[in-house]
Amino acid sequence: MQRKSVLIIKHGFSETCDHSVSPVVSYGDVFRCTCLLEDFKGWEVTWITAAAARDLLNQNHLIDHLILADEPGQIPPGQIQNHYDMLINLEKQRDWCEFAAKIAAEECYGFKSWTDSGSDCYYPASAAALSEGLSRDHYKPVQETLFQTIGRHWTGQRYVLGYQPRVFQIYDVGLNNHIGPKWPTKFWPMEHWQELYERLKPHYSVSWQQSLHSIRHYADWLASCRVIVTCDSLGLHLSLVLRNTRLVALFGPTAPEQIYLYGRGIKLTPDCHRACVPCYQSRCDYADPCMNYLSVEMVADAVEMLIGTGRRAPTVSAPERIQQEELAAVGG
């Protein structure tokens, strides 16, 4: 019996739930879209992504054909089928929308024409989910938005990483302190990181972020830590596929409600009351960005809650979502 086929276009130059388009790949946004793959087991899956995102999707057992192309003209001849059962376009750029429009598919989801306005930007079945996901009035886990975009229900499906680290946990705490160039406003001040390190090191084995230039080695380092302290970055998403790693996640310019931790950690938000938070901007209008208001004490307390007492974050079902997902509230 011939398998059904699906073509997924996701390379990360635009984020599904953000209006902007950037020349910089959002690795975290590419990776979190892998939660969709759980619903296509048994299908023939073709995924188009940016060359820079290759290692995030390479050797993924749920992807049959991985095509690396930053623009449609880079797709090698013969790589695209004449017909698909389903097309999912999660990129907004004009060239990719035009490319997707030429694909023959029984069902089409995602972005149709970002140059249009209102519901004309989306394929009809995706309009409600994507317009809500791109609004700033209501936040929910991106996974839920992704599944609603393709007319399905998210029931807790997880990210899928092809590479599986095989390392021992040798550090109590890992400080995932680097932030990619696309979102500099997510950065927690370096003096805060250093103060946290000084506070933790008398009691725990602490490691600074390692292996920035290799996804595999980076995943190995994340897996070697019992608790990862991280801003909203790729390291946060990768850590969520590592069953024994817990998280203290720091948020400011992005909404914590959009990140589901699968009961694996604690989310912290700044102790400041600004109408612009979360702003989803790459530049801050204030001399003291909101991330400055995440105190070292707040973060250290969260680490100790996860590792000092030996408590494990509780597991909850997906529909309970954000409000019941955390341990006892720490700093919001």
DSSP 292-306: GGS-HHHHHHHHIII
Q: Are 144 and 178 members of one domain?
A: no
Contact (Cβ atoms closer than 8 angstroms) between residue 149 and residue 137: no
311 lies in some domain = yes
Mean pLDDT of the chain: 89
Q: Are 50 and 83 members of one domain?
A: yes
- Count: domains in the chain: 2
Q: Are 191 and 109 members of one domain?
A: no
CA distance 291 to 187: 7
Q: Which of 260, 263, 220, 259 is nearest to 242 (CA)?
A: 220
162 lies in some domain = no
Contact (Cβ atoms closer than 8 angstroms) between residue 67 and residue 49: yes
Query: 10 Å Cβ neighbour count for 83?
Result: 10
Question: Given this model, what pLDDT does residue 88 score?
Answer: 98
Contact (Cβ atoms closer than 8 angstroms) between residue 61 and residue 162: yes
Q: Are 133 and 193 members of one domain?
A: no
Instruction: State the residue range of the domain holding 118.
Output: 5-149
CA distance 53 to 263: 27
Number of residues that this document lists for the chain: 332
258 lies in some domain = yes
Residue written as token pair 């997902």: 325
217 lies in some domain = yes
261 lies in some domain = yes
Domain of residue 215, CATH code: 3.40.50.2000
Distance in Å from the first CA to the final CA of the chain:
52
Q: Are 83 and 32 members of one domain?
A: yes
Q: Phi-psi category of 59—alpha, beta or left, where left has phi over 0 and alpha has psi -120 to 50? A: left
Give Cα 119 to chain centroid, integer Å.
25
Q: Are 111 and 38 members of one domain?
A: yes
**pTM (2 d.p.):** 0.88
| Domain end call among 84, 119, 149 | 149
User: Which stretches of the chain drop beneath a pLDDT of 50?
Assistant: 310-332
307 lies in some domain = yes
Structure confidence by residue, pLDDT tens digits, 38-52: 999 999 999 999 999
Q: Are 53 and 176 members of one domain?
A: no
Q: Are 203 and 104 members of one domain?
A: no
CA 4, 95, 73, 129 dihedral sign is: negative
Q: Are 140 and 216 members of one domain?
A: no
Question: Given this model, what pLDDT does residue 310 score?
Answer: 46
11 lies in some domain = yes
Q: Are 311 and 186 members of one domain?
A: yes
Please report, as a single letter, which amino acid is at residue 6: V
Q: Are 42 and 129 members of one domain?
A: yes
Q: What are phi and psi of 226, to 5 degrees?
A: -70, -40
CA 199, 201, 203, 204 dihedral sign is: positive
Q: Are 258 and 310 members of one domain?
A: yes
Structure confidence by residue, pLDDT tens digits, 155-186: 999 999 999 898 899 999 999 999 888 888 99
Domain of residue 68, CATH code: 3.40.50
CA distance 115 to 285: 28
